[in-house]
């Protein structure tokens, strides 16, 4: 039987990167990536950050369970954060499920696949749940990356912060940094494969290296030093990174980004709330004044830097007045863009147990709408400030005969500070770096003209 795998990935970039690794491992066993309706091995890589995402995974399993009724040879697996959180309960809940593995044991897949494929003497079906509390050591496998301009490169995993609303420390475990040499070698490979942009991933990139030993010269690795090393690599590429915890951003990191050639001027610094009491309830280790201080410092030091953030509307017990502090923070700090979400209670989290303080859904919905409106206005203000500037744009795609623009060829890419830029061009190709002067600002993008 041909081995054809389909992986559906929900959630963050870390999951996307994990799926590329899973595909690489499976390719060693003869599996090839396939469209959903043609596959005979289905894997869902799940996210449990919000209930909605968890429900989406279960509904997909239901669809695949239906396929298995007519094609019993089909195998179905679940991995990622929901698997790590729900463990063998999933095998009971979904009788058609064959394999459950977690965030800590992707590198155990070869053994799990072998077990799954092994014929049993009685010919009965093998069902496996393999969840580990400790990470299984990394092994060398090819990574089958999604085609395009950007490649994800995880530098660390897990988080030690235990924000009261967040499942990550429970599903991804404590912080674990990958060796400097491993990260550098992977970056070189990415560049040699022709990718133009590397995005370094970590739940808290500024913690990178805290768990690593000193090198042979007695130097302790840290994020700034890693950035500086990556900046020295040969090739035509850019580096981005995400996510930064506000009070962990060091002066050394700011200085490194300021002086680097390839590191893009963009920081994603989640604030979550603009109110000090709510921040305390969230167990965030800063207040509004400290957050403002770091944002102002980054802006002062790095020209044209973009600062983006995350906010939650309707955290348990948040009053209307406290919510308005979030709105005023976005405006006051001139944040360029923010991701938003209504609070969603998650299992095993302290905030999830504050049931007597939950905010009714209709209020959360209204606050989220106001938050989104504020983010939209902030984004337009930020884009308007860019009119007249010239940005180096990395072209990602081309729209031939763009109808909206009167049958002209439009190139779309991102500036170093992560703004989407559209411009007319007869010659630009994906992967080109082109200087563009910004002429017009829209809410979610900029329009400009190629400069000679």
Taking the complex as a whole, how short is the minimal distance between the CB of residue 170 and ligand SF4, in angstroms?
9
450: its two tokens? 């190629």
**In terms of Cα–Cα distance, which of 312, 241, 319 is closest to 270?**
312
Site string for ligand SF4, 50-89 (x = CB under 6 A): ----------------------------------------
Rounded Cα distance, 292 and 305, in Å = 15
From residue 31, give the alpha-carbon distance in Å to each of 1, 7, 116, 399: 11, 12, 14, 34
Does 313 interact with ligand SF4 (rule: CB under 6 A)?
no
Tokens 């060398």 correspond to what residue? Answer: 140
* SS3 category, 33: strand
Sheet hosting strand 197-201, strand order edge to edge: 150-154, 197-201, 238-242
Rounded Cα distance, 232 and 401, in Å = 40
Helix 320-333 to helix 361-385 angle (10° resolution) is 10
Which of these ranges, 50-58, 130-138, 162-170, 248-256, lies near ligand SF4 under the rule CB under 6 A? Answer: 162-170
Q: Which residues ranging from 228 to 257 are in contact with ligand SF4 (CB under 6 A)? A: 245
Does 169 interact with ligand SF4 (rule: CB under 6 A)?
yes
Tokens 């989220």 correspond to what residue? Answer: 368
Does 294 interact with ligand SF4 (rule: CB under 6 A)?
no
Site string for ligand SF4, 186-215 (x = CB under 6 A): -----------------xx-----------
Rounded Cα distance, 450 and 75, in Å = 51
Taking the complex as a whole, how short is the minimal distance between the CB of residue 163 and ligand SF4, in angstroms?
3
Q: Residue 361: how many CB atoms within 10 A of its CB?
A: 10
Taking the complex as a whole, how short is the minimal distance between the CB of residue 62 and ligand SF4, in angstroms?
29
Which of these ranges, 137-145, 156-164, 313-321, 431-439, lies near ligand SF4 under the rule CB under 6 A? Answer: 156-164
Which of these ranges, 133-141, 157-165, 216-224, 374-382, lies near ligand SF4 under the rule CB under 6 A? Answer: 157-165
Rounded Cα distance, 311 and 339, in Å = 6
Taking the complex as a whole, how short is the minimal distance between the CB of residue 199 and ligand SF4, in angstroms?
17
Does 47 interact with ligand SF4 (rule: CB under 6 A)?
no
Please pick, from the candidates 55, 66, 93, 162, the single residue that binds ligand SF4 as defined by CB under 6 A: 162
Q: Which is nearer to ligand SF4, 9 or 203 (CB)?
A: 203
243 cis-preceded (ω within 30 degrees of 0)? yes
Please pick, from the candidates 26, 112, 156, 163, the single residue that binds ligand SF4 as defined by CB under 6 A: 163
Rounded Cα distance, 36 and 39, in Å = 6
Q: Which is nearer to ligand SF4, 41 or 245 (CB)?
A: 245
Q: Which is nearer to ligand SF4, 10 or 393 (CB)?
A: 10
Cβ 104 vs Cβ 138: under 8 Å: no
Q: Which is nearer to ligand SF4, 149 or 166 (CB)?
A: 166
Q: List interacting residues with ligand SF4 (CB under 6 A).
A: 159, 161-163, 166, 168-169, 203-204, 245
């Amino acid at each position: 039987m041909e081995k054809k795998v389909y992986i559906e990935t929900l959630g963050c970039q870390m999951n996307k990167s994990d799926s590329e690794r899973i595909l690489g491992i499976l390719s060693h066993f003869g599996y090839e990536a396939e469209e959903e309706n043609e596959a005979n091995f289905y894997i869902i890589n799940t996210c449990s950050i919000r209930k909605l995402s968890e429900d989406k995974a279960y509904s997909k399993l239901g669809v695949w369970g239906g396929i298995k009724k007519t094609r019993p040879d089909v195998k179905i697996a679940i991995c990622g954060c929901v698997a790590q959180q729900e463990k063998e309960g999933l095998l009971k809940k979904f009788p058609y499920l064959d394999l459950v593995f977690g965030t800590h044991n992707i590198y155990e897949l070869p053994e799990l696949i072998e077990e799954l494929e092994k014929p049993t003497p009685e010919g009965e079906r093998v069902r496996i749940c393999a969840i580990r509390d400790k990470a299984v050591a990394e092994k060398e496998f090819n990574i089958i990356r999604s085609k395009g301009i950007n490649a994800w490169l995880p530098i660390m995993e897990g988080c030690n912060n235990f924000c009261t609303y967040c499942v990550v420390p429970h599903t991804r475990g404590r912080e674990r940094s990958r060796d400097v040499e491993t990260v550098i070698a992977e970056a070189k490979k990415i560049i040699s494969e022709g990718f133009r942009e590397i995005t370094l991933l970590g739940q808290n990139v500024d913690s990178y290296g805290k768990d690593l030993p000193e090198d042979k010269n007695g130097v302790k690795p840290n994020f700034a030093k890693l950035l500086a090393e990556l900046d020295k690599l040969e090739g035509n590429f850019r580096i981005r990174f995400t996510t930064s915890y506000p009070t962990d951003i060091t002066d050394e990191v700011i200085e490194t980004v300021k002086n680097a050639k390839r590191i893009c001027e963009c920081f994603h610094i989640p604030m979550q709330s603009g109110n000090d009491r709510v921040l305390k309830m969230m167990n965030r280790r800063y207040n509004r004044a400290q957050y403002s201080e770091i944002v102002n410092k980054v802006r002062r030091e790095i020209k044209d830097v973009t600062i983006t953030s995350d906010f939650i509307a309707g955290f348990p017990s948040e009053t209307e007045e406290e919510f308005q502090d979030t709105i005023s923070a976005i405006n006051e700090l001139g944040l360029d863009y923010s991701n938003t979400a209504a609070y969603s209670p998650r299992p095993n989290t302290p905030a999830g147990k504050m049931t007597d303080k939950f905010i009714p859904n209709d209020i959360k919905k209204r606050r989220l709408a106001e938050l989104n409106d504020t983010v939209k206005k902030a984004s337009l203000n930020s884009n308007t400030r860019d009119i007249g500037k010239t940005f180096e744009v990395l072209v990602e795609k081309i729209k031939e005969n763009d109808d909206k623009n009167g049958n002209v060829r439009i190139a779309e890419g991102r500036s170093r500070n992560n703004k989407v830029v559209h411009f007319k061009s007869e010659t630009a190709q994906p992967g080109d770096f082109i200087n563009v002067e910004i002429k017009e600002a829209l809410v979610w993008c900029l329009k400009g003209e190629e400069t000679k």
